[in-house]
């Protein structure tokens, strides 16, 4: 019998001697895809404005312990995102300065401009089936070159504990969880990243604000004692 760990090791065997692609790309999960349409005036014909519509797609991707948000304009070069790019869908991700590159098992490469990057909880590891699908797609898009998970990608497919500092300032911990998850969390007006979040704060009263697009904001004052943990479970209500 092959152990579960041995099974994963077999999946992660790589024969990609030719590629920097394999080393540069990471695995991620789609968090949200948003479509926006705006119009701009090109010129006026008599007194009538002639306009052109621009369709912009904004995509948020969870990769390792960050949520990266980027966008691109629909044009002849880049079409609409694949319909399977829904919440939690696995994709290949590459970050280069202010540019985000995305591709999946069934799509070509998309190039987006990064607008935001925030720390979040460590990404949910990929399942065995998801790994197989991404690897199969990688072989197809690289013209039959055998490409898959290297040591770096294999490590990312396993649960990873967030690094903790050796020492922490005196205070307490504010543990914020939300439904839905990956909501913006602000403490005393300061952006603390996305939920779920464990935030180190000084003892005393603090103002907590939780918000997410499409939902009503949540605001509450909490008191955190020294060397204690205050849990805050928030269920956001959808906007009417």
Q: Domain ends where: 156, 191, 226? A: 156
Distance in angstroms (rounded) separating the CA atoms of residues 160 and 87: 21
DSSP conformation class of 105: S
Q: Considering the domain boundaries, does residue 183 fall inside one? A: yes
What is the average per-residue pLDDT within 108-126? 90
Q: Are residues 95 and 38 in the same domain?
A: yes
Reported as a single tens digit per residue, the pLDDT across 47-90 is 888 778 889 999 999 998 899 999 999 988 888 999 889 988 99
Distance in angstroms (rounded) separating the CA atoms of residues 74 and 61: 19
Q: Domain ends where: 156, 185, 207? A: 156
Q: Considering the domain boundaries, does residue 240 fall inside one? A: no
Provide the mean pLDDT of the chain: 77
β-sheet bridge partners, residue 56: 36, 73
Question: Highest mean pLDDT: which of 104-108, 132-136, 176-180?
Answer: 176-180
What percent of the chain has pLDDT above 90? 35
Segments forming the whole domain that contains residue 204: 172-235
Identify the pLDDT of residue 213. 86
Reported as a single tens digit per residue, the pLDDT across 146-171 is 333 443 444 344 433 333 444 555 78
Other beta carbons within 10 Å of 87: 13
Q: Give the number of domains in the chain.
A: 2
Identify the pLDDT of residue 138. 53
């Amino acid at each position: 019998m092959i152990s579960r760990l041995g099974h994963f090791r077999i999946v992660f065997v790589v024969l990609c001697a030719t590629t920097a692609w394999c080393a540069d790309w990471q695995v991620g999960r789609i968090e949200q895809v948003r479509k926006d349409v705006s119009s701009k005036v090109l010129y006026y014909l008599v007194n009538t404005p002639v306009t052109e519509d621009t369709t912009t797609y904004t995509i948020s991707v969870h990769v390792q312990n960050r949520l990266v948000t980027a966008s691109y304009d629909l044009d002849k070069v880049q079409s609409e995102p694949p319909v399977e790019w829904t919440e939690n869908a696995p994709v290949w991700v590459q970050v280069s300065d202010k540019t985000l590159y995305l591709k999946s098992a069934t799509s070509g490469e998309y190039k987006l401009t990064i607008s935001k990057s925030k720390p979040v909880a460590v990404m949910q590891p990929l399942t065995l089936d998801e790994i197989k699908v991404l690897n199969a797609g990688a072989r197809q898009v690289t013209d039959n070159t055998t490409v898959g998970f290297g040591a770096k990608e294999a490590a990312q497919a396993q649960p990873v504990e967030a690094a903790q500092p050796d020492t922490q300032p005196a205070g307490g911990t504010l543990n914020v969880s939300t439904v839905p998850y990956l909501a913006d969390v602000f403490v005393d007006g300061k952006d603390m990243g996305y939920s779920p979040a464990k935030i180190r704060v000084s003892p005393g009263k603090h103002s907590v604000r939780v918000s997410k697009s499409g939902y009503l904001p949540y605001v509450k004052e909490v008191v955190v004692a020294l060397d204690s943990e205050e849990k805050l479970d928030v269920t956001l209500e959808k906007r009417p």
